[in-house]
Amino acid sequence: MQSEAKSNPPYEWIIGETAGIVWQMLHENGPMSIRQLVQQLKSAGRNRDLVMQAIGWLAREDKLLFEIDKRRRQIRLK
């Protein structure tokens, strides 16, 4: 599509960049909940939908483990 403004990067690029930020946060902090990731990335201008898409990106690349029990759900790197 040619109608996109040239100053805006493609949305796929933004998702990929956010996936890199999520990966780095998990690498530095260890397991985190989705809520924690969303709260921390909000200050970087990333909304919940974008964080969820980034998590999906990393999951599709087989880089995440999801730890789910009765009281909590956390994500960590493989």
Total domains present in the chain? 1
Backbone φ, ψ for residue 71 (5° rounding): -105, -20
Look at residue 40 and tell me if it is in a domain.
yes
CA distances from 53 to 11, 16, 19, 50, 71 (A): 11, 9, 8, 5, 24
**9-64, pLDDT tens digit by residue?**
899 999 999 999 999 999 999 999 999 999 999 998 999 999 999 999 999 999 99
Is residue 74 a part of any domain in this protein? no
Is the confidence at residue 5, as pLDDT, over 80? no
Residue 37 falls inside a structural domain: yes
Interatomic CA distance for residues 57 and 20, integer angstroms: 10
Domain assignment present for 2? no
Is 57 inside a domain boundary?
yes
Asked, for residue 55, whether it belongs to a domain, the answer is yes
